[in-house]
Chain A
Amino acid sequence: MLRDITIGQYYPADSVIHKLDPRTKLMGALLYIVSLFVFRGVAGFAAVTLTLIFIIALSKVPFGYMVRGLKAIVVILVITIVFNLFLTPGEPLVEFWKFRITWQGLENAGFMAVRLTYLILGSSVLTLTTTPNQLTDGMEQALKPLNKIRIPVHEISMMMSIALRFIPILIEETDKIMKAQLARGAEFESGNLIKKAKSLVPLLVPLFISAFRRANDLAMAMEARCYHGGQGRTKMKPLRYKRKDAAAYLLSVGYFAGVIALRIVF
């Protein structure tokens, strides 16, 4: 049940996308996300869809695995569609009681749904093909200039990498505690809302305690190894751009320019 959560999960495979520099992938993902909000019309839609299919195919991550990440946003998706559908003014399509669906509403709802879905899919390509360590490394490198205006880039990326690293650990822990309480006759899925909320106490209390214990242990272990923040810290595997990164940059910028051009032309 809890294993279905794919946020921040890495899927090991041997593909070009996996081997790209994390900075390249971050940039690519960013450009793709921006392009999702730039495109308009059928031509633009075709461009973003084909690109996504192309990238997913390149990444060698099973499509089914990627779609699982969508489960988390189903609610948001439905709300967005409903709001867009009913609250967009324009030419009426159907009308009943107090509601009115317009052509524009239908169009907006459709494009918003596509945008959100692609947004999740596109960013999950990034997280599924990049280990959390690489990802934060890339982020730290890419944001380094911000150090000059006193933004603690290293600390932020360290916090991020710890948080990401702990997602699977805490999921596993939750699973364990859940089973232990189930073995004591607890039930998590039956009863009304209040009963359900109450049934979470035996799960949440031990989970919080263990999270604090782990945080404490980790802080201790880091201090025992003389961790003192980013200054003067070197890397065992410093990031280096390769030839395929240049190609990837060119392709992403080209793609982005293409989407903008499509929007202007049509």
Chain B
Amino acid sequence: MSIILDKVNYVYSEKTAYEIQALKNISLKIEDGEFIGIIGHTGSGKSTLIQHLNGLVRATSGGIYYNGRDIYEDDYDRKKLRGMVGLVFQYPEHQLFETTIFADVSFGPKNQGFTKKEAELKAFTALRSVGLSEDYWYRSPFELSGGQKRRVAIAGVLAMDPEVLILDEPTAGLDPKGRDEILDQVAKLHQERRMTIILVSHSMEDVAKYVKRLIVMNQGSIMLDGTPGEIFAHVQELEAVGLAAPQVTYLMHDLRKRGIQASGTATTLEEAKEAILQAFHKK
């Protein structure tokens, strides 16, 4: 069970004046149950990359294998693939269209061919797992706040019971509280359902706190791939491509410069606390 990308290239508007190579020779293996963060500058190819994973965009060249099968094979059921690899787009609240929230969330499972009852059951479970109060379920999705709408949209994808959940900037435009709520819920899905999660973001703090593996994209290629600790050790390289490490990483860096012997891989507040305390105990 894994997703493998083999030398994937993608070119937008081929053979016109607007031609852009969005992906260059991407090779990647995503194991089952991983929690991955993809970061990169605007236009680095993150969004294009994830649209390949569920077959929405067809690579100009290269191959993609889901659970060992080539998804570009003629008899491969790509509609089924979209149910297994759930993709939540940026600003997903813009795709809501039904008269009630409940009907909107059951749109996905209905398309998958489930009966009305089954689809409703799935919608019920999905709305529960994103933590939206039952008072709202039969209201119009357009009456909700931005954060709530986004949760409904995420539930719309979760209702299809995906094995892999990809979220493109799920926290864009949300306040800190809304952001934490959504990311905590995603982390819970990872823990409870053992779902593979791929989180696209450019907020280092978010990514460092949750993910186990980080992929840094720059100009259509993978620049770095490793644990957050490993990645944020390359502060200069990250800055050179317009990214930054989390605030704590800078703090730890400065502390080391001043001669405090704290270990260098802390990427979250908690880790930093531990490391600093340890350094003081050593003295």
Contacts and interface: CB of A to CB of B under 8 A. Distances in A.
Contact of A201 (B16, B79, B88, B97): B97
A62 to B, nearest CB: 8
Interface string A178-194: 01111111110000000
Interface in B209-227: none
A3 B95 CA distance: 20
A183 B94 contact: no
B17 A13 contact: yes
B250 to A, nearest CB: 36
B111 A183 contact: no
Nearest to A180: B95
Contacts of B121: none
B101 interface: no
Interface string B79-121: 1001100111100101111000000000110011000000000
A110 interface: no
Classify the secondary structure of A's interface with B: helix
A205 B97 contact: yes
Nearest to A201: B97
Contact of A186 (B54, B86, B92, B111): B111
Contacts of B111: 184-187
Nearest to B16: A65
A11 interface: yes
Contact of A180 (B13, B79, B89, B112): B89
Contact of B89 (A183, A186, A209, A210): A183
A183 B86 contact: yes
A183 B56 contact: yes
B82 A183 contact: yes
A177 interface: yes
Given A202-B97, A206-B97, A184 B56 contact: no
B94 A177 contact: yes
A12 interface: yes
Interface residues of A, number: 23
B207 interface: no
A183 B97 CA distance: 15
The listed residue with most A CB atoms (<10 A of its CB), out of B17, B83, B95, B96, is B95
B121 to A, nearest CB: 17
Contacts of A176: 89, 94
A15 to B, nearest CB: 12
Nearest to A11: B17
B156 interface: yes
A258 B190 CA distance: 75
A11 B18 CA distance: 9
B160 A206 contact: no
B27 interface: no
Contact of B92 (A62, A180, A185, A187): A180
B132 to A, nearest CB: 17
B157 A184 contact: yes
A176 B5 CA distance: 23
Contacts of A182: 56, 82
B3 to A, nearest CB: 15
A13 B54 CA distance: 36
A184 B79 contact: no
B51 interface: yes
A90 to B, nearest CB: 45
Contacts of A183: 54, 56, 82, 86-89, 157
Nearest to B111: A185
Interface string A13-24: 100000000000
B94 A210 contact: yes
Contacts of A186: 107, 111
Interface in A8-51: 11-13
Contacts of B54: 183
Given A179-B56, A206-B95, A206-B96, A184 B13 contact: no
B85 to A, nearest CB: 9
Nearest to A182: B56
A184 B108 contact: yes
A187 B79 contact: yes
A56 B82 CA distance: 44
A180 B93 CA distance: 10
The listed residue with most B CB atoms (<10 A of its CB), out of A13, A186, A210, is A186
A210 to B, nearest CB: 6
Given A183-B88, A184-B156, 19 more contacts: A11-B16, A13-B17, A62-B16, A65-B16, A176-B94, A179-B51, A181-B95, A182-B82, A183-B157, A184-B95, A184-B108, A184-B160, A185-B79, A185-B83, A185-B111, A185-B160, A187-B111, A205-B97, A206-B95
21 contacts: A12-B17, A13-B17, A62-B16, A177-B94, A177-B95, A179-B56, A179-B89, A180-B89, A183-B54, A183-B56, A183-B86, A183-B88, A184-B107, A184-B156, A184-B160, A185-B82, A185-B83, A185-B107, A186-B111, A201-B97, A202-B95
A-B pairs with the 3 shortest C-beta distances? Answer: A185-B111, A205-B97, A180-B95
